[in-house]
Structure 1
Amino acid sequence: MDLKLGMTANDVLFLKGQPYKKEPERWVYRLSDSSSRAWDAILIILFDKGKVDGIVAQPSSDSYTWRYSVNKISYGDSLKDITKKFGEGYTMSQSVDGLSRIYNFPKHQVLFELEQNKVKSLGIFEGKGLQYINEISTATKKAALPA
């Protein structure tokens, strides 16, 4: 991935082009294999004061061959796999329906969203981490993913 934390919005625009969806603090890109018209994954870029402070990737379905990983943790890995790699120092945000959770590891600046104890999206961030807009646990920052 050619994006980095701290980049300006103009740098992102130059590298990635116009986003599929553009909000003041969140841009969404659809990533696709050039051989098909379907989109394979979404990339969510989060901004704070005009600079990238979070990047989250999520495949469109289980059938997608996942290309992204964070320190060898990838789509489908469990919380046990993650804590074996990053330890127990995390904050957690749970969706209102209780079906998914975002685990933030501030020391490592990485996050993983899990559903049925399997990674369904992953990313990097600056600060305390991400949370669902409507959540059960304590607040940590701002939402990257829909609840």
Structure 2
Amino acid sequence: MARRVAGPGQARGKQFSRFDKGGFTFTTDIGFESKLIMSSPVRALVAAQAAELAGDMVKNAPLGRHVRTDEYSIKKNIHPYVEQVGDEWVGYVVIEENERARHAMLQERGYRDPSGRRHRGRFYLKKALEKGRLE
């Protein structure tokens, strides 16, 4: 009689492993990874990372001349958000929700003014992303 062995991609059913102390039984088919990833501490961690990244971007963003109000400045239009995508939390940093704000990407990449002069980019967003990158 031939033994049937589960191949790649085939479920093997419940797998148990018992720890020595306390008689705790760990079941691998419960999906604890999904429960852990969707937990509130993980959401708080993602929110903290997004807020830190947004804070670095705000700190390095260029200042503008805003005589009457600061409502349209770049610094006031950088916000972190956390959203559930599928079975995980995803952190976003949104720049320029307000369409009347100064153009953050023009400041980032550089631009030519109406007279044709070139203004070099400041790359403050790129620096913040590189600082937060994991190697």
TM-score w.r.t. the length of structure 2 is 0.22
Q: Higher helix share goes to which structure? A: 2
The structure that has the greater radius of gyration is 2
Higher strand share: 1
TM-score, length-scaled by structure 1:
0.21
